[in-house]
Amino acid sequence: METLAQLRDRLLARFPAAEVTVVTNPSPSAQHALRVDAHHAREIAGFLRDDPALQLDQCTNVTGIDWPEKEVVDAVRTTVPDPAGGTPRVVEEKIKRLEPGRLEVVYHLYSIALRHGPVVLRLVTGNRTDAVTLPSLTPVWRSCEFQEREVFDLFGVAFEGHPDLRRILMWDGFQDHPMRRDYREPDDYEWEPTPHGDVLAKAKRHYPAPAPSAP
Amino acid sequence: MNAAATLAAPPTGAHIRAVRGELSGDLLEVSMGPHHPSTHGVFRMIVTLDGETIVRLKPVFGYLHRNHEKLAENTSYLGSMPYTDRLDYLNAMTNNWAYARAVEQLAGIAVPERAEYVRVILAELTRLLNHTCLAGFLMQDCGCSGTPLMYAFREREKILDLFESLSGSRMMCNYQRFGGCRVDPTADWLAGAKKLVGGYGAFLDEFEALLTGNEILLARTQGVGRLGAALAINAGVTGPMLRAAGVNHDLRKVDGYGVYPRFQFRVPLGAHGDVYDRYMIRILEMRESLAILRQSLAGLPAGPVMNPQAKLRGFRPKPGEAYGRIEGPKGEIGFHLVSDGGPNPWRYHVRAPSFINLTLLEDLCLGHTVADAVIILGSIDIVLGEVDR
C-alpha cells in the first residue's frame, strides 16, 4: 500500500478544498493517522472505500477520545545580544498557552479484498460544548451504526446523517456523557445504617448539615 | 399515579384492538427479553410483528453495562488485565491475549517463542470451548432441550479443568502478561492437553452423528437468516459469521500474528451464509483447531515464557496509541489504547466482536418468524458481558 503522505497528496488532488493532515504516532506500533476536516469527511470516506488501489471495505473499529482543555507549556529560546559586545545569551522563556478542548473520533479501516490496513481516520470537533457535530460515516460503512451511537452516548458527539442516533448503552433519560474525562457521577447515595469512611463523606455531602437550632 | 386514577380510565378500544381485532392489518409490538432464556443473557429485542412475521426489530442494549472502559482508564495497564476476563466470560484467554497484544504493540515489547506457542495452544483450546458451547446453545435454541448442551458442557468442563490447573481459575484466567504468560505449563499439564486433543475428534464425531445430518436441524436452520458477503463486509461482521457468508478472512492468516504462520490449517468457508452454515463452520473450525493444537503441542520449544525485560510494576508506555487485534472465537477482538505517558491508559476501547456482529440482526430477521429470530440470534453467538461492556 502507498504511504500515508502519498495518500494525503492523492486525496488533496482529488478534493482540493479538503484539509487532510498526517498525524504521526510516536509509539512503536507506528499506526499513523489521517486527520480529515469534518466538511469533506464523508466524501473522503467514500473515496477510500471505493478507490481500486485502496478498497478499504471494512471499518473495523470506531472510538471516541476526549481531550479536555489543557494548559501546555512551550519553551521558546531566544538569543539576546549582549549590548557590551560579548557573546549573545540564550534565554529560555516558558510560555503557557491553553490548548482548547475537543472530542476526537477515530476510525480504523482495513481492506478485506486487498488485505492491508489499518488506515486510521481522525475527525475532530470544534470544542466540547456546542460545536460537537461531525458527519456520520454510517452511510459509507454500516459497521459504524452501533459504534457511532456508542460514541454519541458516551462522549456526546452528534453524528449528522446517522439513521438512528439514540443512546445505546445508557438509558434514554440519562443526561450526561460518562466517558468524558470531567464526568462526575450523580449523587446516588443510598441510606446506610452505620456509614463510615468514604460512605460517611458521601452521606455528609448528600444530607446537608441541619440548620443550627435557636438557643 | 395512584391506583384510583388508573382505574378511573379503563383501557379503550384502541389499546386492545391490536390483539383482539382483525390481525390482518394491525401490527403487534412484542418485547423479547431482557429476561428471556433465548436471549443468552440480558438482551432485549423490540419486535414488531405482522401476524407471526417480523417486520421490524430493534435491539436494546445496556442491561449489563458497567462502563468497563472508564474503569480501565482509572486503573493501571496491568490492573485491567483480570477485568478483560469479564468481557466475553467464555473466552478469557483470547481476551487476555488481545489486550496483551495491544499493549505489546503500544510499548514495543517482544514475546518469547515459548510464550507465543502457549498462547496459540490456549487460544485454540478456547476456540474449541466456545464453538462447542455455541453448538450446544444453538441446539437448545432450536428446541432440542438438554442433550446436545449437556454433551457440549461435558467437553467444556475438561478444557476448563486444564485452564484451572494452569491459571488457578476455570473462567477468569488472568493468564497473559505484557511480554509473555504468567506461569509456565508443566509437563503434566502438556500431557493432559495432548490427551484432551487426542480424544476431542471422537467427541466431535459423536456430536456430529447426533446433529449435523439431523432432519429437524436441517429444516430449522437451512435458508434461515441468510447473509450476503458484501453486506457482511460493509457491516463489519467478523469471525465465523463472516466466513459462513463465504468471505475468506481469518486474522490468523491475514495478520499472521504470533506463530500462526508456522502451522498448517485451512479456513472453512460457507456458501449460503445461513444459520446452518454458521453452525457447520464452527464444527469445521474445531477440527482445524485440533490440527493447530497437535502441531503446536508437538513443536513447543523450551525457554522462558516471560520476556525478562518486560516491566509489570510501574509500567508507563511512551505517549502514542495502538490498535491490536486477534481472531477471537467470536470474531475480531481488538483493543484501542491511547497513552499519554502516564501509568493509566488515557483511552482504552474494546472492539467487541459480538456487539458489532449484532448490527445486522434486524436485516437477518426481517421476514422470518419469532422462532427463527431466536436461532438467528443464537447463531450470531453473543455474550452480553462483551456486548454491553
Question: How does pLDDT run across B176-198, given as a tens digit for each residue?
Answer: 989 889 899 999 999 999 999 99
- Checking if the pLDDT of A165 tops 80, the result is yes
- Checking if the pLDDT of B124 tops 90, the result is yes
A163 contacts on B by Cβ (under 8 Å)? none
Instruction: Give phi and psi for B321, each to the nearest 5.
Output: -150, 165
pLDDT: which is higher, B73 or B143: B73
Q: Mind giving me the DSSP string for B264-330?
A: -------SS-SHHHHHHHHHHHHHHHHHHHHHHHHSPPPS-SB-TT---TT--PPSEEEEEEEEETT
C-alpha cell at A35: 486527520
Cell 453452525 locates to B279
Q: Tell me what pLDDT residue B24 has.
A: 54
**Does the beta-carbon distance from B321 to A143 stay under 8 Å?**
no
* CA-wise closest residue to A157 among A70, A67, A69: A67
Q: Which amino acid is at B163?
A: F
Nearest residue of A to residue B349, measured between CA atoms = A63
Using DSSP, state whether A30 is helix, strand or coil: coil
- Checking if the pLDDT of A191 tops 50, the result is yes
Question: How far is the alpha carbon of A171 from chain B, nearest alpha carbon, in Å?
Answer: 7
User: Is the CB of residue B79 less than 8 Å from the CB of residue B94?
Assistant: no
- Checking if the pLDDT of B121 tops 90, the result is yes
CA distances from B226 to A11, A58, B244, B355, B382 (A): 37, 20, 10, 19, 18
**Does the beta-carbon distance from B356 to A112 stay under 8 Å?**
no
**Does the beta-carbon distance from B323 to A120 stay under 8 Å?**
yes
Q: Say what the pTM is.
A: 0.86
**Does the beta-carbon distance from A57 to B233 stay under 8 Å?**
yes
CA-CA distance, B39 to B226, in Å (whole number)?
Answer: 20
* CA-wise closest residue to A60 among B94, B323, B66, B96: B323
Q: Tell me what pLDDT residue B25 has.
A: 63
- Checking if the pLDDT of B4 tops 50, the result is no
A46 contacts on B by Cβ (under 8 Å)? none
Does 3.30.460.80 match the CATH number of domain A4-206? yes
- Checking if the pLDDT of B256 tops 60, the result is yes
Candidates A65, A142, A169; nearest CB to B388: A169
Question: How does pLDDT run across A39-67, given as a tens digit for each residue?
Answer: 889 989 999 988 888 889 999 999 999 98
Q: Which ipTM did the prediction report? A: 0.84
DSSP label at residue A214: P
